[in-house]
Amino acid sequence: MRNTKDRVTIYQVAQKAHVSLATVSRVINKKGNVTEETRERVENAIKDLGYKPSGLAQALATNKTTNIGLIIPSANYVYISNILNGITEVTKEKGFTLTVFTTSHSREEALQTLEKVIVTHVDGAIVFDDELSEEDVINLNSYSVPTIVINKNLQGEKTASISLSYGRLLASLIEEHYQRNDRPMTFLHVHDGGRLLAHCEHIFCETHARLNRPYQIVNVDDSYKRTYYDFLERFKETKDGYFIAYRDSIAAAVENAATDSGLEVPNSVEVLSLVGTKYANIVRPMLTSFEIDLQEVGRRAMYMLIDLINETLYDKSYSFEARLITRDSTLH
């Protein structure tokens, strides 16, 4: 019990328990070699004084912070909060602490962020951010920060990666589509949409080229509202199409615009969402989507990181394969 005082130190505990601070340290860290009796005395002193060890001092002395850093873009997407959730779960379970570093759309800021990560002395980091290049991650490594990179292939002494694979599924989906149907597909391009989207777009083009089919790429704004209005315009002329969107909100924008223009989904307009979340189920028609359990990705990343820190991670890459969840926004 205590009032607002200065921090109680290990020394004060020692004094109160009539032992040396080394002994107190031992009971805190449960390092045996302490009589039952003195241990009790110390523990009482700790309780009486309301002593809590200083993580700072501990970290400085042991060179371990039990703190891990997460680097993500500041964009406020549902799937980011999913991944965050998976990470925090394991983070707690394993007694770590999580500090979050966000990055905006500028390289310079990304570097500052990196700087902070280093200064903060994290035991390890998880990077899920396109703003950071491979060099940056390697740089992080040179400061002995074990790192798990999500969605970027990169392995090394202190680096492992998790890849999110949508490409294969996308290619086969496109092929199957044209086996039943001639409706040309349109890919919704988002400026600065990141690697994942870019890769999908690449696969999209490549597959169409291979099949010798025409296709379209259209630019959309990464916001529900803008895209909704854009497509309201578009559907005044175009009356059908198969649209592939990055994420639920954008897909829903297209779908809603179609419906509100009197077009039938999926009969006239089909829509597919690449990064599906629970909202794919909630909008109507329900969105056909690709899904990867991002929460599980977060958990996995954290488990891998812990192994990496303990130098017991042997397989330095892991891949999550997207699944197609067929719902009502596409013809089967």
Partner DNA sequence: TTGTAGGCGTTATCAA
Partner DNA sequence: TTGATAACGCCTACAA
**Pairing mode of beta strands 269-275, 317-321:** unpaired
* Residue 284: contacted member of a second copy, DNA, none (CB under 5 to 8 Å, by partner type): a second copy
DSSP annotation of 270: E
Q: Compute the distance between CA of residue 208 and CA of residue 178 in angstroms, rounded to an integer.
A: 10
Q: Which of 20, 47, 60, 172 binds a second copy (CB under 8 A)?
A: 60
The token pair at 320 is 């999550």
Q: Compute the distance between CA of residue 252 and CA of residue 188 in angstroms, rounded to an integer.
A: 13
Residue 281 touches a second copy, criterion: CB under 8 A: yes
**Pairing mode of beta strands 269-275, 288-291:** parallel
Part in contact with a second copy (CB under 8 A); list of ranges 49-57, 167-175, 193-201, 207-215? 49-57
Residue 124: other Cβ atoms inside 10 A: 22
Residue 85 touches a second copy, criterion: CB under 8 A: yes
Closer Cβ to a second copy, 70 or 150, answer by number? 70
Closer Cβ to DNA, 19 or 275, answer by number? 19
Closer Cβ to DNA, 34 or 286, answer by number? 34
Closer Cβ to DNA, 175 or 311, answer by number? 311
* Residue 319: contacted member of a second copy, DNA, none (CB under 5 to 8 Å, by partner type): none
DSSP annotation of 7: P
Q: Compute the distance between CA of residue 47 and CA of residue 318 in angstroms, rounded to an integer.
A: 45
Q: Which amino acid is at 180?
A: R
Give 226-247 as a DSSP string.
HHHHHHHHHTTT---EEEEEEE
DSSP annotation of 80: H
Q: How far is the CB of 17 from DNA (least distance, A)?
A: 8
Which residues would be at the binding site for DNA (CB under 7 A)? 6-7, 9-11, 18-23, 25-26, 28-29, 31-35, 37-39, 51-54, 56-58, 60-63
Residues making contact with a second copy (CB under 8 A): 2-7, 50, 52-57, 59-60, 65, 67, 74, 76, 78, 80-82, 84-85, 88-89, 92, 97-102, 115-116, 118-121, 141-144, 157-158, 224-225, 249, 252-253, 256, 259, 278-279, 281-284, 295
